[in-house]
């Protein structure tokens, strides 16, 4: 029987939806008897601009950088029972058809055959966000993909015997693009403004999937090895992702993915309208959901790949949880 600690680290971090996504997927797999020997012990946010501080929590659990979670207006660790009850209730609901896409999902093949299939003792799973993705360069970590080579590690796992690491942003975005009707494998053109960790991961995965990548500049440009076409050769982008928020479109764009996600407001139909795959602007939650699922496939539970929820399933549950937490927060403020 193994104990599991999970945290997401970065700065700012109090708005992160990753703990909610982790809880949804974990309880879904538990419900389907896929990880019966794994018991969750801790769920944390770690506010830090240094990856060593996040790893320190992995080695020795502490509360030094544990902020209040925006979704609860309080600490996650003091609300674990409440959060688990919400997640378990939401998992009983039917997935709303509005989240279904127009294209079938791609087949997911195993990334590594060297990960242990069983859980023993203590497991530590971590997600990293900005500005930490490029900081992990230690030989103490075993990469299962090119995450360390392209300086874009956002997923970590301690198995009790060693650390493993991976990048999941790129594969997650490819899944999201396909779900939104973009034929990546037939040479769809992606325009990226910015060249940080997420951009590098996405460019690499996009190229590997058969698409083309155009660099649109930004504060930090993409490495030439991750670019396959020039902007002057393109009449229209199939997808634009502006990480710097500075790109003034000079070219026709079919769809835009907004990497950041803002709080959703309004009724359930109003929220669903923002998240609908029919929109030409793709909310950043889709990218987050895609990369989170890839973290499970690639590093945390590759043996459970076929039992993971689909993109629309997880997005539907996430939207329901956000609404329920917003209603609960509103009621508490009125009291």
Length of the chain, in residues: 335
Three state DSSP letters for the chain: CEEEEEEEEECCCCCCCHHHHHHHHHHHHHHCCCCCCEEEEEEEEEECCCHHHHHHHHHCCCCCCCCCECCCCECCHHHHHHHHHHHHHHCCCCCCHHHCCCCCCCCCCCCCCCCCCCCCCEEEEEEECCCCCCCCCCCCEEECCCCCCCCCCCEEEECCCCEEEECCHHHHHHHHHHHCCCCHHHCCEEEEECCCHHHHHHHHHHHHCCCEEEECCCCCCCCHHHCCECHHHCCEEEEEEECCCCCCCCCEEEEEECCCCCCCCCCHHHHHHHHCCCCCEECHHHHHHHHHHHHHHHHHCHHHHHHCCCHHHHHHHHHHHHHHHHHHHHHHHHC
For residue 113, pLDDT beyond 90? no
Q: How confident is the model at residue 121 (pLDDT cuts 50, 70, 90)?
A: confident
Percent of the chain with pLDDT over 70: 97
For residue 333, pLDDT beyond 80? no
State the pLDDT at residue 135. Answer: 80
248-301 residue pLDDT tens? 878 899 999 999 998 999 999 999 999 999 999 999 999 999 999 999 999 999
The CA distance from 105 to 209, in Å, is 13
Can you tell me the mean pLDDT for 69-80? Answer: 91
Can you tell me the mean pLDDT for 204-213? Answer: 97
The sign one gets for the Cα dihedral 64, 69, 74, 76 is negative
State the pLDDT at residue 227. Answer: 97
129-178 residue pLDDT tens? 999 988 887 778 999 999 999 999 999 999 988 899 999 999 999 999 99
State the pLDDT at residue 137. Answer: 77
Across-strand partners of 320?
A: none
Q: Which domains does the chain have, with CATH numbers?
A: 2-168+289-334 (3.40.50.10860), 171-282 (3.40.50)
> HSE-up of 96 (CA within 13 Å, CB side)?
17
Name the least confident of 36-40, 179-183, 279-283: 36-40
Question: Which has the closest alpha carbon to 191: 115, 249, 124?
Answer: 249
Contact by Cβ (8 Å): 143, 162: no
Can you tell me the mean pLDDT for 191-206? Answer: 96
Can you tell me the mean pLDDT for 75-97? Answer: 93
Tokens (6 digits) for 91: 């998992």
16-35 residue pLDDT tens? 999 999 999 999 999 999 99
Q: Report pTM.
A: 0.95
315-327 residue pLDDT tens? 999 999 999 999 9
State the pLDDT at residue 10. Answer: 96
Percent of the chain with pLDDT over 90: 77
For residue 107, pLDDT beyond 80? no
Name the least confident of 71-75, 99-103, 147-151, 278-282: 99-103
State the pLDDT at residue 228. Answer: 97
Can you tell me the mean pLDDT for 123-129? Answer: 96
Contact by Cβ (8 Å): 172, 198: no
For residue 332, pLDDT beyond 70? no
Tokens (6 digits) for 75: 């600490």
For residue 335, pLDDT beyond 80? no
């Amino acid at each position: 029987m193994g104990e599991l600690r999970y945290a997401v680290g970065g700065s700012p971090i109090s708005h992160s939806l990753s703990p909610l996504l982790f809880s949804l997927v974990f309880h879904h797999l538990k419900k389907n008897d896929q990880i019966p020997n794994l018991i969750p012990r801790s769920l944390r946010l770690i506010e830090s601009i240094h990856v060593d501080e996040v790893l320190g929590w992995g080695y020795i659990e502490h509360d030094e950088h544990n902020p209040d979670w925006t979704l609860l207006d309080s600490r996650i660790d003091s609300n674990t029972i409440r959060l688990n009850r919400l997640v378990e209730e939401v998992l009983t609901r039917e997935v709303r058809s509005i989240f279904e896409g127009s294209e079938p999902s791609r087949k997911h093949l195993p990334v590594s055959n060297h990960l242990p299939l069983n859980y023993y003792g203590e497991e530590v799973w971590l997600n990293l966000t900005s500005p930490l993705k490029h900081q992990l360069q230690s030989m103490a970590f075993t990469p299962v993909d090119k995450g360390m080579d392209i300086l874009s590690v956002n997923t970590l796992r301690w198995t009790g015997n060693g650390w493993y690491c991976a990048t999941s942003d790129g594969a997650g975005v490819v899944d999201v693009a396909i779900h939104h009707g973009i034929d990546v494998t037939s040479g769809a053109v992606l325009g990226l403004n910015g060249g940080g960790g997420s951009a590098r991961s996405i460019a690499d995965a996009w190229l590997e999937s058969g698409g083309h990548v155009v660099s649109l500049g930004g504060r930090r440009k993409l490495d030439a090895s991750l670019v396959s076409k020039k902007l002057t050769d393109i009449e229209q982008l199939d997808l634009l992702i502006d990480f710097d928020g500075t790109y003034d479109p000079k070219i026709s764009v079919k769809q835009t993915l907004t990497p950041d996600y803002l709080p959703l407001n309004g009724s359930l139909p109003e929220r669903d309208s923002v998240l609908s795959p029919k929109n030409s602007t793709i909310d950043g939650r889709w990218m987050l959901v895609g990369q989170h699922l890839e973290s499970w496939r690639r590093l945390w539970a590759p043996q459970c790949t076929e039992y993971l929820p689909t993109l629309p399933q997880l997005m539907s549950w996430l939207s329901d949880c956000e609404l329920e937490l917003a209603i609960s927060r509103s009621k508490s403020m009125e009291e």
